[in-house]
Amino acid sequence: MRMMRLLAGVALASLMGVGAAGAQTVLRSSDTHPDGYPTVEGVKYFGELVKERTDGRYEVEVYHSAQLGEEKDTIEQVRSGVIQLNRVSMAPFNGTVKETIVPALPYVFRDEEHMHKVMDGPVGDQIKAAFEPVGLVVLAFYDAGSRSFYNSKKPIRTVADMAGLKFRVIQSDIFVDMTAALGANATPMPYGEVYSSIETGVIDGAENNYPSYDTARHVEVAKYYSLDQHTILPEVFVMNKAAFDAMTPEDQEIFRKAGADSVGRQRELWTEMTENSRKKVEEAGAQINDVDKQGFIDAMKPVYDKHVTDDVLRKLVEDVRATQ
């Protein structure tokens, strides 16, 4: 029995990335954004809560600014247990966790408040549970506002203006198909390559929220930001499931609660940063304009036809729409 407990301890220690003798367990978490970004700060706050509530037995180190690699690579790292935590967009999961397709769908949410109600309720719980079979436990959904297209050529006012433009999209087929449905061309590529790809004319632009457009400095190379707001896709903060399962039920509860408690902090910081970034990009020369949104909404029907293909997804979309 003692031996077994000892072995379990060693296994846990190795999953957590520490020597067996270490009294304290250090968990590594990745983020593509710079220090100070609301997602980075949300996870840091989670770490403070965990440290405090476990009397210092656990500590979280956040590797910001893509120090551990681009999102797709860090998702592999957290699934295999090389790192224990990760904060990423849900888009790169669209191909592996099919339920994540639903919040990624264009205009599925009426606004950010609607997204909060959905993700904080039963639909959010169903999406969370869907991560477990791929070896991940969801600790929180964080805000990422809405994503809009921006480019170096001209303001987009109607769907017709999209014709022929080339955009980098996040690595997900939904985003490729959304862009195609609008008559433009999509190139999925890692976030870190976007700036130079616009600068050298490989692509005309990309799509993202104000804080990303600002902090990744894409505003310097693509000044036309057109508010089509095609998705309000939240971020996800995950933990390697084997590492989670190896903890005591009490510690698991502390982690889940700290995750939930970090959401309010992240949302506050998000609202602040969105406003600050909007001002900063305007000062940096961004030309922000409204679009004929109904035209964009109507053009997206093929994306639903292609991706909402089974009863699970159809029901989820219905549940999202019915959430008041």
- In angstroms, rounded to a whole number, what is the distance separating the alpha carbons of residues 159 and 242? 46
Q: Is 277 in the site for ligand GTR (CB under 6 A)?
A: no
Classify 141 in phi/psi space as left (phi over 0), alpha (psi -120 to 50) or beta: beta
Q: Shortest approach of ligand GTR to residue 1 CB, angstroms?
A: 44
Q: Is 88 in the site for ligand GTR (CB under 6 A)?
A: yes
**Residue number, 43 or 156, with CB nearest to ligand GTR:** 43
* Residue 63-82 contact track with ligand GTR, rule CB under 6 A, x = bound: --------x-----------
Q: Is 235 in the site for ligand GTR (CB under 6 A)?
A: yes
Q: Are 43 and 31 in contact (CB under 8 A)?
A: yes
Q: Which of 54, 212, 231, 266 binds ligand GTR (CB under 6 A)?
A: 212
- In angstroms, rounded to a whole number, what is the distance separating the alpha carbons of residues 286 and 218? 10
Q: Binders of ligand GTR among 25-44, rule CB under 6 A? A: 32
DSSP 212-234: HHHHTTGGGT--EEEEEEEE-PP
Q: Is 209 in the site for ligand GTR (CB under 6 A)?
A: yes
Q: Shortest approach of ligand GTR to residue 144 CB, angstroms?
A: 5
Q: Which of 75, 144, 178, 317 binds ligand GTR (CB under 6 A)?
A: 144
Q: Are 320 and 107 in contact (CB under 8 A)?
A: no
Task: Please identify, among the stretches 5-13, 110-118, 205-213, 273-281, the one whose residues bind ligand GTR according to the rule CB under 6 A.
Answer: 205-213
**Residue number, 100 or 208, with CB nearest to ligand GTR:** 208
How big is the site for ligand GTR, counted in residues (CB under 6 A)? 11
Q: Is 151 in the site for ligand GTR (CB under 6 A)?
A: no
**Residue number, 148 or 209, with CB nearest to ligand GTR:** 209
Could you list the beta-strand ranges (E) of the chain: 25-30, 58-63, 85-89, 136-142, 147-151, 166-169, 185-188, 205-208, 224-231, 235-240, 287-290
Pairing of strands 205-208, 147-151: antiparallel
Pairing of strands 235-240, 205-208: unpaired
What residues line the site for ligand GTR (CB under 6 A)? 32, 71, 88-89, 144, 170, 191, 208-209, 212, 235
